[in-house]
A = this chain, B = another copy of it.
């Protein structure tokens, strides 16, 4: 599929030419020929909340501040009303420290938890589910013409995926316009970076659609709902729990979206079917994107 040169829609687009994100590596191919291929970088990044070490994420390394902010937010470790004073990234130490105005409720909770089981991150999933109580996702008309337009634009956007593969992409969209396209080796880092950008820029979620190349698992659905985004679309498939949670919170969930095909398993009422699927081209064999496995 031809790449596009028109990136004017984007506020942030992938930068596949950036030197720190990929590396050329020598190998030998199936014919025994020396070959040189481009592979994505993968670096550890240790995230701190004030004085507390939280987790070491494996990341391509762009936007560490957004990744840290979004991770903490999506894990329920930073709640509404907790003021972020500074985010300090140290390239040499591979650390990023998010500093809040005073101790967070998470740090308090952690102290209690540590006394009982000694493990912070093991509790995280429960905390994320807790955060979902009371979430009401806004009404938004989702045009199928916009979904098709988004998929076509995103697939043609020059990206690390097209350059080197082995990476996930997530795109924050508004109508037919892709706004922020993040990629990462870690399955959830791309969506966390978007959450961090939204938090930093105080961007509203009510009129947004999230598009991902990854699978629609429980964690992806929970994160989208916690971010307040009413619709989530993917090329890839679903898990049963992902579908269940989407129905509980009223998230519009669209998967297996390739060419003219898609399946909507939750929140069908938001869809405005204004496109004729028969007018949508099937993806050519050599299309950029593959991967239902996310």
Chain A interfacial positions (CB closer than 8 Å to B): 22-23, 25-32, 35, 37, 39-44, 46, 52-56, 58, 110-111, 114, 117-122, 125-126, 144, 161, 164-168, 185, 187, 213-219, 236-243, 256, 260-265, 268, 271, 273, 277, 285, 290-294
| Cβ contacts under 8 Å, A219 to chain B | 58
The answer to whether B238 and A166 touch across the interface, beta carbons within 8 angstroms, is yes
Complex: how many Å from CA A294 to CA B264? 23
The answer to whether A263 and B167 touch across the interface, beta carbons within 8 angstroms, is no
A110: nearest chain-B partner, CB-CB: B118
Q: Point out the residue from B52, B273, B285, B290 that lies within 8 Å of A117, measured CB to CB.
A: B52
Query: Closest CB-CB distance, A24 to chain B, in whole Å?
Result: 9
Q: A53-B119, A54-B119, A119-B121 are in contact. Are A264 and B27 (CB under 8 A)?
A: yes
The answer to whether B31 and A277 touch across the interface, beta carbons within 8 angstroms, is yes
The answer to whether A243 and B54 touch across the interface, beta carbons within 8 angstroms, is no
| Cβ contacts under 8 Å, A168 to chain B | 293
A265: nearest chain-B partner, CB-CB: B27
The answer to whether B44 and A263 touch across the interface, beta carbons within 8 angstroms, is no
| Cβ contacts under 8 Å, A23 to chain B | 240
The answer to whether A28 and B216 touch across the interface, beta carbons within 8 angstroms, is no
| Cβ contacts under 8 Å, A44 to chain B | 125
The answer to whether B42 and A217 touch across the interface, beta carbons within 8 angstroms, is yes
